[in-house]
Structure 1
Amino acid sequence: MRSFTVLKDATRAVLVDRPVPAPGPGEIRVDIRACGLNFADLLMQKGTYQDTPAAPFTLGLEVAGIVNSVGPRVDGFAVGDRIAVYSGQGGLAEQGVFSAGRAVKLPDAMSFEHAAAFLIAYGTGHMALDHRARLQPGETLLVTGAAGGVGLTAVEIGKLMGARVIAHARGADKLEIARHAGADILIDASEDLRARLLELGGVDVVYDAIGGEVFKAAFRATNPEGRLLPIGFAGGDVPQIPANHLLVKNLTVIGFYIGGYLNFRPEVMRRSFETLFQWYQDGKLKPHVSHVLPLDRVEEGMELLRSRASTGKVVITP
């Protein structure tokens, strides 16, 4: 089978032929129909992601496909099941072997492309805003990078949770996508973010995927008792948070990494996915996939993420 693999002692991935593995105890083997790309894939290529496996390994954190083999001691899955897996690695391949504990069955109406764009982006948005930040109806939510993979889903979810949603993104086209997802107020990245937020009465919850100066501006416009979620650092700079300002305004900065819940509180993730799948079936969530590319064009997909030229998700279809 073909896979997009980071070779030993390398900092880039290449398409290689690898043997098809057999599933072990607690594992399922999957014919992969779609794999969602994430910014973490870029970091893994460079070896800078907090959860980078030892090389050689195949990139691809989330996949959707059909079970073609079931290993010993697996309950709840059978050959032919349509599933999605928060795999952590191994998704950019024609087949993969994954822990059954990381797999979920798909609603009948969900396409493989939507499924591969769903778990990480929507799971991150929902768990961060609901479980961690405790976003309340009527509060004001700022989403930065609001047309990207995790940002756009946070706009949708924040609106469903009853918040007034402010979307921050670069350019009219990206802001229009955020508006279509439910944003109430749009702020272009060329504007003075802090000044605009203060004009609007400040914000209660910040969901920031950019970092750097954007986070600093949002931090200074957060209302007393506000909560800030530094979700990612697509702008390249990790912000340093002045603790004295936290004290003065009684602010809370909340760490969140969805992958951690696989190990210490998987039930939180399962409950979140149940809620999200129900919202999808009810037509309340509409995944935005800007590009669908075959496996031999995965480098093109990576560059779309690197240059921030995509909106929503980029999906590879092995």
Structure 2
Amino acid sequence: MFLSVFCFGQDSLKTIVAEPGDGILSLLRKQGVDPYEVFDEFVLLNNDNLRDSVHLIEGRTYIMPAVKLDTVAIVDSLQIQSKEIKELESVSYDIFGEKHKNVIEKSERLKGTIYYLVSGHGGPDPGAMGIYAGKAIAEDEYAYDITLRLAKELLSHGAKVYIIIQDPNDGIRDDFILEIDHDEVAYLDKTIPLNQVARLKQRVEIVNDLYKSNKGNYQRLIVTHVDSRSEGQNIDVFFYHHEHSKNGKRLAQSIHKTFEAKYKKYQPNRSYSGTFEDRTSLYLVKKTHPAMTFIEIGNIRNAKDQVRIVDPDNRQALAKWISEGVLLDYEGE
């Protein structure tokens, strides 16, 4: 599927000032635009003027994507200058849900790469549990949503992506409270076992079989979890790797470096304490064959960490930051 992309001079595009309480979705809705159709284009247009890569800054002026007939206009900084007219390919993936299914090509920076994405728990096991706004929240739902958002980012840069744990009907969700269900399956519609060892073994076998079938290609694995600690323990995002994997260490280090830079830029008064370290005792770290990183997003029981997890804008920022770390890792080859 192709979208015609019309690019105009910057002074011909509509601008809007962010008001208190505005988010990208609400700002676009107030302008009478379907936010899900133009969200990515808005971020591309205003990337240098967003906090945490996805949050509006009150009082700042933002460029609105132009919509012509039934097509979406994408304008990036180079196109604004040159007033080029070009056509971008948009590929539809049902797994992301109706509102987020279209993936628009941003670059080919990851062309030729393969990424396996595993979100923690799922099926009969919801993983770590917490309470937010009086309602139960589960690790597997939030890890899965971040994983889908990460998959979409990687696909937009030309990567081939295998989503190992899948939910047939969730898609990317823009809610704070993600409804808990148990219908997740493993890659190619395999039932997820209740037994923990059997469940982990199933994931290892799926990833290792795919790794073998894609032998000779650039392959990496990213596993996403949400931790559970005491309610009073606020933690940052942590990254683990196999102690003997040079490539896995570099992947974890590259994403960690990206997070450090983001915190320094967007939260200069707050130090970042997340680390990257070897954790070969973890089953998936020890048993899987691709170079990999295992990510702990935060403490699902801590009120500050919950904001990082439940806010859909924050989940999008996490996915975007991880993808930027992936790009840093790959392009440093």
Interval containing the TM-score (normalised by the shorter chain):
0.3 to 0.5
TM-score norm. by structure 2 comes to 0.33
Richer in strand (by share): 1
TM-score norm. by structure 1 comes to 0.34
